[in-house]
């Protein structure tokens, strides 16, 4: 269990600035996920916390102790990498106990810790196998077990599920969540997969180009993104963005036009806006409907189906129109089949103002969904 504070962390490689001044606090027992596109600096930031990288400037504190220049071995952390990094000539049990043997722990203590981790991860029946005799998921569990036996203050995960297939990723995601609940340890988890971040984390840190775009709970970031980047990064399929133009704005509301074809009234003060301002209207696919169940306050769009994607329990409907280049909605597969929806078919789509997001010309959020 550890409390981590990062103060104005910067990291440069030559003239390339990778981390550009990050301040962050990670609370004791918290599960924090770093997410962002490739090259955003998330793995570099994790390596700085671990001590594998030294920041160009700034400070790292673990439990109120400045560890900025401490070696990784002195930080009481354990790290699980994307590559399992198991010793191929050692059995599962030997791999898990190796660090304890190097630390000259007693045989009794080593046995107790390895048995505890093995049972927790359901590896005890595999102790005598070599890594080559294990599946990808089993190898990753061995790597996690090797971290558990060290009893660290802090667990660091660097894209640990990237090498696994879809089914194994789901299984391992559940096991990591159970591990966190059982150990009650602080964990920092780097991933490019927003599903992993949303399902595992207490707090998500969204990074781009070496800076933090937004920090918050999964629900906070999903419902109240502070800018277009965060709104589009979290959610699959991602949020629909529709160019709109301000028609009128006052202290009570903003009325926007979609290509002079549709008009949408939004309950947001627009005193700082002027007629003609260009904005972006954001609507998530699950907040679009094929029938008006909302009443008079609904908005209707006339669209043409471009592509349908049948996913078993649900379906994605990708639409277009002269006013809107692309719009995606999620419906039940049963609904799609009952309505016999196919490409080139004209449909009406409805949405409610309360689920609309509004972004200014700099892509900063002016309006997010109502609580």
Kindly state the tokens that stand for 231: 């709104």
Q: Which residues of 184-201 are buried (b: 16+ CB within 10 A; e: fewer)?
A: ebbbbbbbbbbebbbebb
Question: Given strand 4-13, what is the order of strands in its sheet?
Answer: 16-26, 4-13, 57-62, 65-66
Q: 194 and 220, same structural domain?
A: yes
Each residue's pLDDT tens digit in the chain (371 positions)?
A: 699 999 999 999 999 999 999 999 999 999 999 999 999 999 999 999 999 999 999 999 999 999 999 999 899 999 998 887 899 999 999 999 998 999 899 999 999 999 999 998 989 999 999 999 999 889 989 999 999 998 899 999 999 988 888 888 898 899 899 999 999 999 999 999 999 999 999 999 999 999 999 999 999 999 999 999 999 999 999 999 999 999 999 888 899 999 888 999 888 888 888 999 999 999 999 999 998 776 666 899 999 999 999 999 999 999 999 989 999 999 998 888 888 889 999 999 999 988 999 999 899 998 776 64
pLDDT of 5 reads 98
Report which of 306, 358, 310 is spatially closest to residue 328, judged by C-alpha positions: 306
Q: Which of 206, 233, 260 is the last residue of a domain?
A: 233
Is the same domain home to 157 and 305?
A: no
Q: Is residue 141 domain-shared with residue 253, that is, in the same domain?
A: no
Q: How far apart are the C-alpha atoms of 176 and 171, rounded to whole Å?
A: 9
Q: Are residues 147 and 197 in the same domain?
A: yes
- What pLDDT, on a 0 to 100 scale, did the predictor assign at position 371? 47
Closest residue by Cα to residue 288 from 303, 278, 273: 303
Give CA torsion, residues 206, 4, 32, 54, to 10 deg: 60
Q: Tell me how many domains the chain contains.
A: 2
Instruction: Say yes or no: 229 and 314 in one domain.
Output: no
From first CA to last CA, the distance across the chain in angstroms is: 33
Domain holding 266, by residue range, is 240-367
In a shared domain, residues 309 and 363:
yes
Q: Both 229 and 252 in a single domain? A: no
- Among 184, 213, 233, the domain boundary falls at 233
Tokens found for residue 140: 């990753």
**163 and 296, same domain (yes or no):** no
Based on the domain organization, do 205 and 250 belong to the same domain?
no
The DSSP 8-state label assigned to residue 289 in this structure reads B
State pTM to two decimals: 0.91
Does one domain contain both 124 and 192?
A: yes
Q: What CATH number is associated with residue 218?
A: 3.40.50.300
pLDDT value for 292:
77
Asked whether residue 59 falls in the same domain as residue 139, the answer is yes
Q: Which of 177, 204, 233 is the last residue of a domain?
A: 233
């Amino acid at each position: 269990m550890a409390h981590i504070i990062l103060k104005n962390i910067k990291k440069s490689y030559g003239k390339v600035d990778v981390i550009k001044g990050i301040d962050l606090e990670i609370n004791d027992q918290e599960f924090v996920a770093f997410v962002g596109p490739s090259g955003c600096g998330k793995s570099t930031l994790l390596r700085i916390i671990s001590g594998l990288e030294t920041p160009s400037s700034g400070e790292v504190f673990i439990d109120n102790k400045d560890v900025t220049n401490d070696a990784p071995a002195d930080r009481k952390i354990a790290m699980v990498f994307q590559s399992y990094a198991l010793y191929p000539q050692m059995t599962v049990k030997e791999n898990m106990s190796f660090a304890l043997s190097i630390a000259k722990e007693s045989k009794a203590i080593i046995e107790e810790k390895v048995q505890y981790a093995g049972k927790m991860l359901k590896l005890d029946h595999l102790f005598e196998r070599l890594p080559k005799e294990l599946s990808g998921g089993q190898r990753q569990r061995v790597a996690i077990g090797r971290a558990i036996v060290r009893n660290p203050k802090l667990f660091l995960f660097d894209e640990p599920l990237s090498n696994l297939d879809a089914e194994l990723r789901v299984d391992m995601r559940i096991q990591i969540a159970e591990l966190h609940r059982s150990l009650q340890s602080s964990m920092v988890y780097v991933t490019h997969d927003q599903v992993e971040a949303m399902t595992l984390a207490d707090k998500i840190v969204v990074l781009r180009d070496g800076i933090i775009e937004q920090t918050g709970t999964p629900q906070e970031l999903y419902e109240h993104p502070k800018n277009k980047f965060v709104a589009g990064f979290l959610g699959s399929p991602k949020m629909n963005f529709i160019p709109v133009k301000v028609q009128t704005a006052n202290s009570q509301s903003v009325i926007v036009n979609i290509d002079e074809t549709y008009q949408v009234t939004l309950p947001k003060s627009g005193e700082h806006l002027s007629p003609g301002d260009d904005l972006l209207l954001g609507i998530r696919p699950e907040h679009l409907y094929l029938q008006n169940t909302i009443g008079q306050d609904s908005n209707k769009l006339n669209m043409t189906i471009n592509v349908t994607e049948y996913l078993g329990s649900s379906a994605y409907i990708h639409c277009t129109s002269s006013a809107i280049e692309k719009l995606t909605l999620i419906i039940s597969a049963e609904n799609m089949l009952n309505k016999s929806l196919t490409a080139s078919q004209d449909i009406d789509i409805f949405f409610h103002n309360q689920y609309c997001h509004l972004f200014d010309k700099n892509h900063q959020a002016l309006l997010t969904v109502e609580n």
